[in-house]
Amino acid sequence: MLIVGLGNPGDKYYRTRHNIGFMLADKLADEYSTTFSKGFRGEYAEFFLNGSKHYILKPHTYMNLSGESVQLLAAYFKIETEDIIAVHDDMDIEFGRLKLKKGGNDGGHKGIRSMIQMLGDKDFIRLKMGIGKDGRKDTIGHVLGKFSQEETEKLDEFIDFSVKAVVCCINEGIKVAMNTFNTKKKKEKTKEEIESEKEQVKPDMVDPA
């Protein structure tokens, strides 16, 4: 399979909301101890999972031309459209949640629109990572902006969670992954639950070492 992390190249866009696809691609590559090489108008890497080879791609064409990079790599390695997972930001989903789906329109996302145009097919998988909305900012300012301090504190956990969704999709298929990960969000402990856990820790259970 081909996992495409959508984003924009350059320091200006580093770790902005619109580049969350790049962040997942980097984490996935790190998880499987692989490195990126330049090619196909972007950066790509190969990794093995359960004996099968898969690819990771970060297009460097800028978002609205992402499909050019995807089409080049998919054609070269003979990857079918249905075996492509596009990872991208989505303002209509709250931060920390994700949604897997197969096919459909571009939802207003220029990277997805470009992929549909260049592949000539909508039948690829999308992993939508929620970035939420901010009524105080215009759309462009929000998506190209940095994550808030509160979001940044939870960002690595969100990316780890999304990597698990990708791996599940590869191993068990889109239907299982959708049922497992869609609309779910890692439950945060309430203050009362934390205090309750503290009370349950007895003195003789504490290891002074």
Instruction: Give the rounded distance of the alpha carbon of 49 from its chain centre.
Output: 18
Place of tokens 């969670």: 161
C-alpha distance across the termini of the chain, in Å: 47
CB hemisphere CA count around 50 (13 angstroms): 7
Whether 142 is a known active-site residue: answer no
Residue pair 116/122 in contact by the 8 Å Cβ criterion: yes
Q: Give the whole-angstrom CA distance, residue 209 versus residue 10.
A: 46
Q: Which of 18, 54, 88, 142 is catalytic?
A: 18
Active site residues: 18
